[in-house]
Amino acid sequence: MIYQQIDRNKRKTYLIFTVFFIILAGIGSFIGDFFMDNIWGGLIITLIVALVYTLITYFQSTNIVMQMNGAKKVNSAEEAPDLWHIVEDLTMVADIPFPDIYIIKDDSPNAFATGRDPDHAAVAVTSGLYKMMNREELEGVLAHEISHVKNYDIRVSTISIALSSAIIFLSYLIGNAYRFVLPFNDDRDRNSGGGSWVAIRAVLWLIGIVFLILGPFIASIVQLAISRNREYLADVSGAELTRNPQGLINALEKLKDSTKPMKKVDEASASLYIDDPLKKKHFTHMFDTHPPLDDRIAALKKSFM
């Protein structure tokens, strides 16, 4: 069961790579054509920038994600004894190394796991979750996160966050390129087929806006590629770890009653959390990062009761 999940996650990683490569190639050739009259040049530069950016993000992922979400590291058992002890218990049963633990100061109850692999993993909970849940529920939530660590979900999500933040970064650059390419007092004759600089700026503006809109959109497409099924799987394997599905069921019930979105949450890492931190309500479920809590509770009950 768990090994099939790990294999599936490895396949998904390749799929994500391919999709992003195509998107980046598109952006790259556009940059090349538009700014340098040289498609290949733009392509190569873009891919190098994206690769470097992605690698840095991948190897620094835990630090970056934790900073983005304003998390504080827990350094000893004294700081949060029950949290620390529960993670100890679960890692013992799951047979993975002890991860880093973080607490995010936020009243909205939530949690996530991140990292490259079980050896470089981190688990974070918000102070709101920590206060709201009793020990059994906390165990349920943490078992869900530890399952994400054990079955390499965290690697898939880390890679996709790294890649989507690279794309968002490029979008941002292009969105702001007009400032560098065409300063306000620029009245040089441009040999761009007679279009006045105002028109070119308008086009640049438009493209910038489109890319800026596309960035988060791409991120959500990726989150769909990772598939919301991961959450169901982590729910079930978490309940197997604790041998107590009721803990997680109660925790999900409590999460359902809390409608407070998080104060400081980074869009790109929204899909990491156990429950949607943005509390978005879409018309369709197509762009949801998370399956509805009701469905998850029902699935758990069906699996175990």
Annotated binding site for Zn(2+): 144, 148, 231
Q: Does 234 bind another protein (CB under 8 A)?
A: no
Q: Does 304 bind another protein (CB under 8 A)?
A: yes
With tokens 């359902």, the residue in question is: 256
Q: How far is the CB of 86 from another protein (least distance, A)?
A: 8
* 30 versus 232: smaller Cβ distance to another protein: 232
- Is 145 a known active-site residue? yes
Show Cβ contacts of residue 269 under 8 Å, excluding neighbours closer than 6 positions: 65, 68, 69, 112, 114, 161
x/- map, 125-164, another protein, by CB under 8 A: ----------x-----------------------------
* 75 versus 176: smaller Cβ distance to another protein: 75
Q: State the DSSP string of 120-144.
A: GEEEEEEHHHHHH--HHHHHHHHHH
Q: Does 276 bind another protein (CB under 8 A)?
A: no
Indicate if the alpha-carbon torsion angle 257, 66, 271, 217 is positive or negative.
positive
Q: Does 30 bind another protein (CB under 8 A)?
A: no
* 37 versus 88: smaller Cβ distance to another protein: 88
Residue of 52, 92, 206, 210 interacting with another protein (CB under 8 A) = 92
Indicate if the alpha-carbon torsion angle 133, 145, 216, 297 is positive or negative.
negative
What Cα–Cα distance (Å) separates residue 123 from each residue in 138, 240, 271, 300? 13, 19, 14, 22
Question: Looking at residue 117, what DSSP letter applies?
Answer: S
Q: Does 302 bind another protein (CB under 8 A)?
A: yes
Are 137 and 251 a contacting pair, CB within 8 Å? yes
Q: How far is the CB of 173 from another protein (least distance, A)?
A: 46
Q: Does 93 bind another protein (CB under 8 A)?
A: yes
Pairing mode, strands 100-104 and 111-115 = unpaired
* 89 versus 267: smaller Cβ distance to another protein: 89
* Cα 49 to Cα 91: distance, rounded to the nearest angstrom: 37
**137, 139, 145, 240: which one is catalytic?**
145
The footprint of another protein on this chain (CB under 8 A) covers a number of residues equal to 19
* 26 versus 81: smaller Cβ distance to another protein: 81
Q: How far is the CB of 247 from another protein (least distance, A)?
A: 11
* Cα 32 to Cα 45: distance, rounded to the nearest angstrom: 9
Q: Does 38 bind another protein (CB under 8 A)?
A: no
Instruction: Please state the φ and ψ torsions of residue 205, each to the nearest 5 degrees.
Output: -55, -50
The window from 11-19, 86-94, 203-211, 278-286 that contacts another protein (CB under 8 A) reads 86-94
Query: Quick count: other Cβ atoms within 10 Å of Cβ 132?
Result: 18
Return residues touching another protein (CB under 8 A). Answer: 81-82, 85-86, 88-89, 92-93, 95, 135, 236, 239-240, 243-245, 302-304
Residues classed as catalytic = 145
